[in-house]
Each structure stands twice: as structure tokens, then as C-alpha cells.
Amino acid sequence: MKRNIKNNVYWVGKIDWELETFHGDDYSVSNGSSQNAYLIKEEKTVLIDTVWTPHAAEFVDNLASEIDLESIDYIIANHGEVDHSGALPALMARIPNTPIYCTANAVKSLVGQFHHPEWNFKVVKTGDTLDIGNGKQLVFVEMPMLHWPDSMATYMTGDNILFSNDAFGQHFAVEELFNDKADPCLLWAEAMKYYANILNPFSPLVKKKIDEILALNLTIDIIAPSHGAIWREDPLQIVHKYYEWSQAYQTDQITIAYDTMWEGTTKIAHRIADEIARLSPDTRVKVFNIARGDKNDIMTEVFRSKAIAVGSPTVGNSILSSVAGWLEFLHELKFKNKKAAVFGCYGWSGESTKVLRERLTAAGLEVVEPEIKCNWNPDADILAEATRIAEALLR
């Protein structure tokens, strides 16, 4: 089960090839994932995190086949979310007095979820250390809101490994464990999707925390996150990417997202795309039907984009529920420094563009003045208005 990471540090997690969704059904998983737990065997034996509840019995049995569970001196809980802590109840049933090192907020999280206030919690904060023998220490770094208030990272001196928990991870199954063994196209696509859909709301904190970590002047040879590939080849490349992504990231791309009832709004969406491509051939254009596309993949493209256009027909004096739900998610992700345009067809009352404009503004986007509000099906004159939208988004 255990697989060597470096010297006396081992991976003891779970590669989950069958995982299809995460956070309930809120995050789509296309290439599997992993729950990475780590075992350190110096003079002291340390377990860093566990795995998700469905794999708890398998995890504890596998761990017991590798070591005497009673030999575990310390457990580090970098984060209380159940994909990292789900096996703790089964493990603590076997070794109930083992100390658990975590933040104060993690104590609240773990007790609130598992109802074991008697566990031997040891609260740590940034800069606290734990000697593990052979001249090595664990150094704790609080990372609140990356992405829960209880999150922290753990740095191991001597081997220079940063156990970063959710930061720098991906929902991506890599049987070979390491970034230099992974398909680089899939690795970077999944890393960006993870950041865009989970960490982007906390981007100001990401930048601040990276500055703080770099100021500690730690030598980092390996970054070992809790999901996906372990960064051992040029590990700081993902840190630099996070720094870039945290600063209102955008590229020369415009994404068009819409839903339709009788295809009129579809025609407008594609005409806007055509006009953007005609006016700016180098600008990448992506078009998605919200109801038929994967919302996380669409949001990743929004993350890349400098502007978006969102369309819906009017229904029930408002917009389609598919678009409304998508806009709620957009609001949650707190994208910055992006323009937006609105469009849609209507038969009788025509409120959709007004609703879209209000919700996009509330989500923090700069909504341009030109819009297409089409009564019934668009004709050539209506479609010609797509040029004004394209020009405003490209300006």
C-alpha cells in the first residue's frame, strides 16, 4: 500500500478512479481523483490526514498491514473536511489516545462532524513546530479560507516537503503519483479547473498567503497536496501559477453561455461569436449551452476569459432556471475585472435581459450597454446588433 515519496515519507492514500462528482454533485470529476494521506517514519511516526469516509475501513486495514497502529505518535489534520478526515473515527477507535494536531477551527469542525470532543486535540498556529526526531521538525502554517477556515499546511524540515492540503491540488487520478509522470495537458487543465471552481473566491487570500510562505524562505523540494499529483519536478511552478491566477486572471478569450427554448437565443449566441471572431481573429471564442454543458468546465472557461456574454429567453417574467442557477454559481466564484453582455428572446413581456443585467452586475462584472432583446425570432436586423455587443466586449 505505502509508496515512497522521499526518504522516510510515504503516500498511504486512495486513488479513486471511479469518482465522478465531488462536493455532493457540485463539482464534476472527469479524470478520477485521489485522497492523499502521508506517513512519516522518523524517530516519531506521523500520519498526515486520512481519506474519505467511503474508503475508511480499507484505509485503516491497509495502514494496519504496513505499521502497528499503536506506533503512530501523532496525527496531523490539516483540514477537517470529510474527504481528508473521513477515516478518523475508524482510526481513533483503534488508537483513541493519539494526539491530533490541528488548528482551533479544525477542532470545531471535527467535533461538529464526528461528535468526539474527547479526542486528544493539540491546537497549533502558524510558526508552531513539532519535533519528529533525526533532526527534523514539522512546521505548521495556518491557511484560513484556502478553502475552509480551519485549513493549514505542514512543512517538514530536512526533507523540505510542504504538505499543502487542498492548495495546489487537482481532482485528477495519477497512479504514478508525481507531476513529472502525469499527462501534463490533463494535469494543468485539472489544476486550473480546481482553482477556478473552488479557490477563486479566495484569490486575495491566496496571494497574501503565498507572499507569507515565500517570506519564510523555506526550501521546498516537494509539494504534496491532498488531491492529485505530487509536485516534485519544479514544485514551485504551481505556486507561481496560483500567484498568477489569484490576480484577476484573464486571457484573450470571450465565453458565451446561454440556454434557449425555441432556438432564437441560440441564433443570437452564435452570431455574437461570429462577430467577435470577425472583428478580432486572434481572440479565442467559446460557446456553451448552459443546460447541456458541464457547469464547472464552463466556469473554467469564464475564468480564462476577459469577457462573457450571457443569454436567456424570458420565461415567467424572468430567466430560465438553468441560467439562474448558473448565475448563482458565477456570483459565488467572485470573478474580477471581466466584462459582460446580455441577450435573449421573448414573446410577451421581455424581462430576461433586465434580470441578466442585474444579476451579472451583482456578481461583480462590468455589464456593457449594448444588448439584444429580441421579440420572437431574430431576423437579419436583430442579428446585426451582435456587432455592437462584440465591439463593446472587445473594447
Residues 1-40 pLDDT 10s: 799 999 999 999 999 999 999 999 999 999 999 999 999 9
* Cβ–Cβ under 8 Å, residues 171 and 300: no
Domains in the chain with CATH codes:
3-245 (3.60.15.10), 255-394 (3.40.50.360)
**Residues labelled as active-site residues:** 23, 79, 81, 83, 147, 166, 194, 227
Taking 90 as the threshold, does the pLDDT of residue 148 lie above it?
no
220-260 per-position pLDDT tens digit: 999 999 999 999 999 999 999 999 999 999 999 999 999 99
Task: Pick the closest to residue 377 from 263, 259, 258 (CA basis).
Answer: 263
How far is 144 from 162, CA to CA, in rounded Å? 16
In this predicted structure, the answer to whether residue 180 has a pLDDT above a threshold of 80 is yes
Q: What percent of the chain has pLDDT over 90?
A: 94
Place of cell 467511503: 54
H/E element holding 11? Answer: strand 9-11
pLDDT at residue 209, rounded to an integer: 86
Q: Which residues contact 231 (CB under 8 A, 6 or more apart)?
A: 168, 178, 179, 222, 223, 224, 225, 237, 238
**DSSP SS3 for 141:** strand
Nearest Cα residue to 124 out of 158, 99, 88: 99
**Does residue 218 carry a pLDDT above 90?**
no
Burial class from Cβ neighbours inside 10 Å (0-12, 13-18, 19+) for residue 234 reads exposed
User: Is 374 within 8 Å of 344 (Cβ atoms)?
Assistant: yes
